[in-house]
Structure 1
Amino acid sequence: MSPRRVVLRMALASLRFRAAASLATLVAVLVGCSLLIACGGLFETALSLDAQPQRLAAAPVVVTGSAGFKLPDEESQVVPYGERSGIPAGQLAQLASVPGVRQVVPDTTFAAVVVTGSGPQSADAPLAGHGWDSAALAPYSLVDGAPPHTPGQVVLDEASAQAAGVGTGGQVGIAVNGAPPRDFVVTGIAHADTVGPALFFSPADAQQFSVHPGTVDLAGIFPADGVDAGELAARIAERVPGLNVLTGADRGSAEFPGIDGAQLPLILLAGVFGGMVLVVMALVVSATISLTVRQRQQELALLRATGATPRQVHRMVLAETMVVAALGALAGLAGGRFIGAEIFSFTTGNGMLPPQLEFQQGIIAFGGGLVLSLAISFAAAWFAALPAARARPLQALVEASIPPAKVNDVRRFGAKVFAGVTVLLAVATLFMPVDIASAVCGPAVLTGSIAVALIGPELMAFVATRFGPLIRRVGGRDAVLAVINSRTRAVAFAAVLTPITLATAVALGNVYAETTQQHAIIGAYADQLRADAVVTSGTGAVSPALADAVRQAPGVGSVSPLVTSQGWIEEPYDGNGSDPGRLLGLDVRDANGVLATPVTSGSLGELTGETVALPEGIADDLDLKLGDQITMRLGDGAQAKVRIVALLDSPSGYPSIVLPAALLAPHTTSGVANRLLVRAADGQDAAAVVSAVTSATVNWPGATVGDSDAVTESFAASADIEAMIHYLLAVLAIAYAAIAAVNTLAVAVLSRRREFGVQRLAGARRGQVRSMLMIEGGILAVLGLVLGTGISLFTVIPMALSSGTIVPDGPLWVFLAVIAAVFLIVWPVTALSSRLAMRRSPIEAVTLPGQ
């Protein structure tokens, strides 16, 4: 039999005697592989952005406006617009003239909500109004009645008609573009296998209600007989440039505007999460494998003493590890599909991603996760087996009894490098804008944890030596042996210390850095506005008539619509790239207006027509001054040449460009304002104004009035969605590290059966041995918490300073929960493992083989 086959047979045979260690390695690889495959699925979803069309399902080709903003400083990068980009009505004839086009069906969407005695229906999806011609895009079919031909007629979808309790020939109240509801005659009921309401009006009404005159939102293209949709799409793109031509699952992005905008968040989610999982997996798998190899030092030393070569020992350890790792990785294929689908479901269910987006997880995701998992396992086993394979037999036998806590020069140098990188990341953050700072200082929790993992044995020995007297005084007699074990078994304990430190650092660093940043963002944006009352509408739009009604309420000083969007300064280019600036649309010509940002020069009284109030920091960066004209690229892709009439002292990290609401609103998807900001007149009580505005809007269905806190809440809603992504990442990484801590701790305790048997033969009771183990676990837990907390500060403190504060912001219960979680991991696992380790009698434990 060849030496290689002998080594392989020995490796497979030895697995039977190390069930606990093999199980720990298998679980670590299984979970890591599952998470990597989940990340691959998220990335694949970002690349494909598949969303099956519903209301546009019958149109083989769908055409929309420009796909996005082509960055002036990039050759090919195009950033999707945040708002729906329309098609100029004049281009419809061009589309119809393309050879192979049988029919062009334009579609215009506007806010339309059925209003009953209980209020507006489906307020969460108010953009439901369309012209009847676009019903062919679903296709909708009439199950009763006739199409609407004259103004004042409407066709309802079956669900809306049933909810309103109305049939053909009846009347129904509909609020269009936030206006008071008016009665429409129901001429028909339509059916289609689609989700969401759809209200179809006559062509005359649809043209009147359109909030984007001169454009249509999209057009469905029907090919002539025998013409392939893909070929026709290519022909349209060539003949009518500048438009976005879609086929297949890509058509969903035309129906659901948030699809294209989900690409960057998904890529960031997959990239950040994948990088975090790779580092965590490398640390966890390395710690687990190193622990199992260290526990076999005596066995490996005996093999060397009986003639095995270093290469044979090394191969045997590699073979054992890779057999277990392969099983874990293969099991991770099933887990990756489940975890990936659950993560994606969580993000879509909580509003982080459009619910219509389809999760994609193909061969690339599964293959990539499998290869990376096996590569990490191989590298960890290869390095872990080196010391045992290279050691001289006699020396190895001595080290197997009392492994040295001292690490080699390579590990010590690596620890210094990663510690230096951690400090460098923290210091560099202080000189960066807050939006960049969050990405730079985040990896500090990982580099710091790597440094601890490399120098862990020496840290354990130092703590046991330096704080041993204190621990003995607190823990009593049972602590004496616990302190000695912490020093002499520093190498094994360091394998447990690594995941505890990592879990603590990731939990505290991610959560408190995010809460600090979000608090600063919400505060900065909300501080730019001031309002005593905030009016919103359940119809999805605030009409000018509602604003007039609010202005007439007693005690009201000024009323301004609030429009929010995103855009770029195109000329001179602001360089924001894929991160466009925030645009606020306001009516702030009143002296007692809703804009709280101080004006450093110019006057807000001139903010009307094609003008802009620019943050002073942006103006300085672009060398702009009062009176200069700039070209802006708005959220729907439209260009606007505006004149600077005021410079604002905006927060440096969170500036907002202020435009007249009348200029910005038509360039948003809804085309109208989404809320009203109300200021009390001089000398008027704010609470009384809220009450007066509430009374003035009582006859407006769906109108709600909030106090000044509603300004903050409007920004907090979007910020909370972004924060949830970071919380999700933290929870998954913490869970993985916690599983690793359980694995390594259980293996470390179970491997000491012979030691416990000797102690019991020497007179120690089970309770005394268990008490010793609980003190050892307490030392590990406290040290891991201290190190993890210290590492997290290199992320949290720089984030706080970059956000303009000194003390990090966040709930105290998170810190207390992390402390409780660590002890709930360490002590119960220690207690259970000790019970299993001492099931046998002392004599049996001492004579057991393979311990």
Structure 2
Amino acid sequence: MISFALKTIGRRKAGFAGAFVALLCAAALVTACGMLLETGLRGSVAPERYAGAPVVVAGDQYVRQTKESGKEKAKLLSERRWIPASLAEEIRRVPGVTKVVTEVTFPYAGHTAHGWESAALTPFTLAEGRAPRAADEVVVDARHSGAKIPGHRVVGVTAQALPGQDTIFFATAEARRLAGRDGLVTAIGVWPAVDVRSAIGARHGGDGRSGGDGRSGGDGRSGGDGRSGNDLAGEGAVAYTGDERGAVEFPEAEGSRVKLVSLGGALGGTSLLVAILVVVGTFALSMQERRREIALLRAVGALPRQVRKLVGGEALLVSVAAGLLGSGAGILLGFWLRSEFVELGAMPANLRLVVSPFPAIVAMLTTLAAAWVAARVSARRTARIRPVEALGETAMPAARLPVVRLVAGLLAVAGGVVLTIVLSGLNTEAASSPVTMLTALVWTVAVALLGPVVARAVTALPLRAPGVAGYLARKSLLAGPVRLASVIAPLTLMTAMTCTILFVPATIGHAAQGEVAAGVKADHVLAPGASPAAVRRVPGVRAVTEVLRTSVRIDLEKYAVQAVTPDGLDRTLDLGVVAGSLAGFGDTSAAVSSTAASRLEVGVGDRLSLVLGDGTPAAVKVAAVYSRGLGFGDLTLSYGLVAGHVDDPRGTVLVAGGAREALPAGTAPGHEPAGSADAAVAYVAMGLVIAFCAIAVVNTLAMSTLARSRELALLRVVGTTRRQAARMLRTETLTALLVAVALGTIISLVTLAAFSLGMTGSASPYVPPLTYAGVVAAVAALALTATTVPARFALRVRPADALGARE
């Protein structure tokens, strides 16, 4: 049967080309998503700054909680956890330790700043000049030789420069003063590679356990990380070796890995569902074109199981070739995605992409399974009918929709209704984003399954197009509703997915910007780096509010936070307080958004236990509940409570009063809402799904047009001109396009309305008219091009040649 399948493929290369392209793209998408997912699970960052120290002791970057089941869960902190400087003395007393170096790290003037005491961690050596000694002296790295640091004298230049960091060194005492963390350090380097963990753990009554960091329940990763560490001296410190030193040096890399797990899983799942839908549709169209061939096989004695084996064998052969090429293309696509994410700042450049055979193997298996199932399902009805009926079937397709397909379509409609209702009740992006894509997909699946019913309803309308081409197009649509349905499905998919992907972030962003515009009462918004003290001295300034953005964990769940200075807050911000008051707001107070209050089940007067960004526990009392959580974050805390627990304490400054020209810093574009900062990353990732949908549109329309060469030849024989035949095809495509755009728009609006209701409380999503017009124009251009170009090739063939080729 395989040899027979090879012959049929060889005779029908054009017919199988569409299936091959769809499977190749599916394999490439699954492979690329698998690479992102695997990088999130197993990726590592090589150390740069800490490369010279065999052991680095630093803060545990996870907040942990033991559940009732006894299992420990862990979640990543958003800020760097600092450790006591006194811990260095404990480590010096460990047998075998010969050298201990402490360091502080903090941002300064666009550089990563340190004290000169920690130069040995890399190691950095001086190429010229001397080490800094006074408070106004600095040493810069080799890349910035000749640079000037405002307010400081450059007294030395190092021989080295780190590829991922611009480094500057202060005198040790000055660095600790500027860091503002009395008695705390960022990390401690230890020489040689001595097991300081068990020794200090025993000295402080530790349990001496080894292995793992508890991540298995926290961020999607499972298993240990190569550290044999317990909590050193009960101070939240962990010893790191090997590439784990890179995780200490680049804490943002750990956050990037968590995002990659989430993004790779969500994108991979969406891509897989879209791929299955496209592949099934492609094979269904292919089988529709081969009804005559399969009917003849049945007429000469082929059994239904033999036909199914033939079709399954063809699918396997095509999918193997497409899977192999697609997996290779997927690896290239994975590297391209990584480069885009690095450029967008979503992941550090030194987070290495994990390349292993597993994503390619999964892509191959997925492609094989999808192709085989799609082919068998598509051939099911044709293979089961009796030979005499099969020959009749080629002349006039059955009028009724198969019962199985009808039931599946109704179930898809029911699933779409359920998902829409569920989506309308979700009020966090993490929960709603995957459900949003799934909802749009399920509605699209329902349209694809019930497509022939939709097509018959369209052809039943009293629509008329002028001229001979319009008459021919109407007759063709009446005779081929199944073909019309096969064209409507990918066009609907592309319209619905594109609108949903584009307008979900637009809806949430518009709502957040609206809340910010309504809530910011300040006359000026100054960018980070402005001196609040200097601003307060400007004549006419009535109030100054410093604003920091960070996040906290409450029962391991992450909540976006803005920290504000309370003095004059009523003159610069209006959070839309609906309960309680911000009067007397202080370091032990918190204001909570309505959405967060509902999730946490708290109200005014209740107490909240939370973990600040660097792992420091805190307890606050709810002073107010406010409505503008999208624009200003889930929680509002005191600046005094938060400022000492963030990596960079510089935030925006809101100013009421004063002349703009008199302010010491330029105004920022505006107070940024507390929404997601990853919209560009989501656009890049989901753009692949849109591209796949576009390929499906081109694929389906090209296959449908080229398969009609016999019909076009017959029209030419009876006197139809090439121009009339081309206009007929364009009219049919425009009919399918209008129906698909309408269906896709309805699907996206229903999905977006549910999303908007859950996230913003309003069922009115934000749809920019020009962007929507651009989507429709792009879909129309793609559809007409995919019809016109193949039509030219089909119409260039002489009628006699076309009829002969088909016989």
TM-score normalised by L of structure 2 = 0.90
Partner amino acid, structure 2, of 1:495: S
Instruction: Tell me the CA shift for residue 613 of structure 1.
Output: 3.7
Matched-pair contact (CA < 8 Å) for 2:232–2:238: no
CA 1:387–1:690 in 2, change beyond 3 Å: closer, same or farther? farther
CA 1:660–1:364 in 2, change beyond 3 Å: closer, same or farther? same
Distance 1:398 1:352 in 2: 59
Distance 1:620 1:733 in 2: 34
Distance 1:145 1:597 in 2: 53
For 1:216-236, what per-residue CA distance to the aligned partner results, in whole angstroms no more than 9, with x for missing partners?
112223325999999997555
Instruction: Tell me the CA shift for residue 31 of structure 1.
Output: 0.7
Matches within 5 A, 1:603-622: 604-615=582-593
Q: 1:751 aligns with which of 693, 707, 729?
A: 707
Matches within 5 A, 1:649-688: 649-651=626-628, 656-670=634-648, 672-680=649-657
1:585 counterpart SS class: strand
Matches within 5 A, 1:20-59: 20-59=14-53
* Paired position in structure 2 for 1:695: 662
1:534 counterpart SS class: strand
Matched-pair contact (CA < 8 Å) for 2:540–2:659: no
For 1:721-740, what per-residue CA distance to the aligned partner results, in whole angstroms no more than 9, with x for missing partners?
32223323442112111111
Q: 2:286 aligns with which of 280, 284, 292?
A: 292
Q: 1:547 aligns with which of 521, 529, 532?
A: 532
* Structure 1 residue 638 corresponds to structure 2 residue 616: yes
* Paired position in structure 2 for 1:586: 564
Matches within 5 A, 1:447-526: 447-466=442-461, 469-470=462-463, 472=464, 474-524=465-515
Distance 1:57 1:786 in 2: 59
1:710 counterpart SS class: coil
Distance 2:752 2:538 in 1: 47
CA 1:151–1:251 in 2, change beyond 3 Å: closer, same or farther? same
CA 1:76–1:764 in 2, change beyond 3 Å: closer, same or farther? same
* Structure 1 residue 780 corresponds to structure 2 residue 749: no
Deviates more, 1:270-279 or 1:100-109: 100-109
CA 1:696–1:302 in 2, change beyond 3 Å: closer, same or farther? closer
2:145 counterpart SS class: helix
* Paired position in structure 1 for 2:214: none
Listed as ranges, the gaps of 5+ residues in structure 2 are 199-209, 212-224
Instruction: Tell me the CA shift for residue 269 of structure 1.
Output: 1.2
* Structure 1 residue 85 corresponds to structure 2 residue 69: no
CA 1:747–1:602 in 2, change beyond 3 Å: closer, same or farther? closer
* Paired position in structure 2 for 1:724: 680
* Paired position in structure 2 for 1:220: 189
Instruction: Tell me the CA shift for residue 408 of structure 1.
Output: 0.8
Distance 1:234 1:434 in 2: 34
For 1:307-329, what per-residue CA distance to the aligned partner results, in whole angstroms no more than 9, with x for missing partners?
22222111111112211111111
* Paired position in structure 2 for 1:824: 781
* Structure 1 residue 738 corresponds to structure 2 residue 694: yes
Matches within 5 A, 1:255-274: 255-274=249-268
CA 1:60–1:757 in 2, change beyond 3 Å: closer, same or farther? same
Q: 1:793 aligns with which of 740, 749, 766?
A: 749
Matched-pair contact (CA < 8 Å) for 2:142–2:157: no
* Structure 1 residue 111 corresponds to structure 2 residue 104: no
CA 1:519–1:690 in 2, change beyond 3 Å: closer, same or farther? farther
Distance 2:729 2:576 in 1: 63
CA 1:193–1:744 in 2, change beyond 3 Å: closer, same or farther? same
Partner amino acid, structure 1, of 2:553: W
Distance 1:443 1:226 in 2: 49
Matched-pair contact (CA < 8 Å) for 2:227–2:240: no
Partner amino acid, structure 2, of 1:586: V
Listed as ranges, the gaps of 5+ residues in structure 1 are 1-6, 114-122, 165-172, 175-181, 570-574, 681-688, 698-702
* Paired position in structure 2 for 1:168: none
Matches within 5 A, 1:369-448: 369-435=363-429, 436-448=431-443
CA 1:199–1:65 in 2, change beyond 3 Å: closer, same or farther? same
Q: How many percent of aligned residue pairs carry the same amino acid?
A: 31
Deviates more, 1:750-759 or 1:800-809: 800-809
CA 1:630–1:11 in 2, change beyond 3 Å: closer, same or farther? closer
* Paired position in structure 1 for 2:275: 281
Matched-pair contact (CA < 8 Å) for 1:95–1:236: no
Instruction: Tell me the CA shift for residue 517 of structure 1.
Output: 1.5
Instruction: Tell me the CA shift for residue 430 of structure 1.
Output: 2.9
Instruction: Tell me the CA shift for residue 150 of structure 1.
Output: 4.5
CA 1:475–1:33 in 2, change beyond 3 Å: closer, same or farther? farther
* Paired position in structure 1 for 2:124: 140
For 1:710-762, what per-residue CA distance to the aligned partner results, in whole angstroms no more than 9, with x for missing partners?
11xx237x64x322233234421121111112112111111222211211111
Instruction: Tell me the CA shift for residue 652 of structure 1.
Output: 6.2
Partner amino acid, structure 2, of 1:637: G
Partner amino acid, structure 1, of 2:173: A
Distance 2:344 2:30 in 1: 22
Matches within 5 A, 1:333-352: 333-352=327-346
Matched-pair contact (CA < 8 Å) for 1:754–1:845: yes
CA 1:653–1:397 in 2, change beyond 3 Å: closer, same or farther? same
Distance 1:499 1:100 in 2: 68
* Paired position in structure 1 for 2:804: 847
Partner amino acid, structure 1, of 2:115: G
CA 1:234–1:755 in 2, change beyond 3 Å: closer, same or farther? closer
Matched-pair contact (CA < 8 Å) for 1:516–1:808: yes
Matched-pair contact (CA < 8 Å) for 1:110–1:211: no
Instruction: Tell me the CA shift for residue 54 of structure 1.
Output: 1.6
1:517 counterpart SS class: helix
Distance 1:225 1:637 in 2: 27
Instruction: Tell me the CA shift for residue 838 of structure 1.
Output: 2.4
Distance 2:272 2:601 in 1: 44
Instruction: Tell me the CA shift for residue 360 of structure 1.
Output: 1.7
Matched-pair contact (CA < 8 Å) for 2:116–2:172: yes
* Structure 1 residue 195 corresponds to structure 2 residue 195: no
Deviates more, 1:423-432 or 1:222-231: 222-231
Tell me the matched-pair count. Answer: 777
CA 1:300–1:710 in 2, change beyond 3 Å: closer, same or farther? same
Matched-pair contact (CA < 8 Å) for 1:50–1:249: yes
Partner amino acid, structure 1, of 2:488: L
Matched-pair contact (CA < 8 Å) for 1:42–1:361: no
Matched-pair contact (CA < 8 Å) for 1:333–1:370: yes
Deviates more, 1:399-408 or 1:551-560: 399-408
Distance 2:37 2:436 in 1: 23
2:571 counterpart SS class: coil
CA 1:314–1:724 in 2, change beyond 3 Å: closer, same or farther? same
CA 1:795–1:235 in 2, change beyond 3 Å: closer, same or farther? closer
Distance 2:173 2:544 in 1: 32
Q: 1:556 aligns with which of 541, 548, 557?
A: 541
Matched-pair contact (CA < 8 Å) for 1:46–1:262: yes
Partner amino acid, structure 2, of 1:669: D
Q: 2:91 aligns with which of 95, 109, 114?
A: 95
Partner amino acid, structure 1, of 2:456: A
TM-score normalised by L of structure 1 = 0.86
Partner amino acid, structure 2, of 1:50: S
Instruction: Tell me the CA shift for residue 240 of structure 1.
Output: 4.6
Q: 2:770 aligns with which of 793, 807, 813?
A: 813
Q: 1:705 aligns with which of 642, 645, 667?
A: 667
Partner amino acid, structure 2, of 1:704: G
Partner amino acid, structure 1, of 2:83: I
Instruction: Tell me the CA shift for residue 100 of structure 1.
Output: 4.7
Matched-pair contact (CA < 8 Å) for 1:61–1:233: no
Partner amino acid, structure 1, of 2:495: T
For 1:806-843, what per-residue CA distance to the aligned partner results, in whole angstroms no more than 9, with x for missing partners?
43213212211221122212222222212211222211
For 1:91-132, what per-residue CA distance to the aligned partner results, in whole angstroms no more than 9, with x for missing partners?
22333344554433222012323xxxxxxxxx3xx4x22111
Distance 2:339 2:263 in 1: 14
Distance 2:35 2:550 in 1: 30
Matched-pair contact (CA < 8 Å) for 1:505–1:791: yes
Instruction: Tell me the CA shift for residue 390 of structure 1.
Output: 1.1
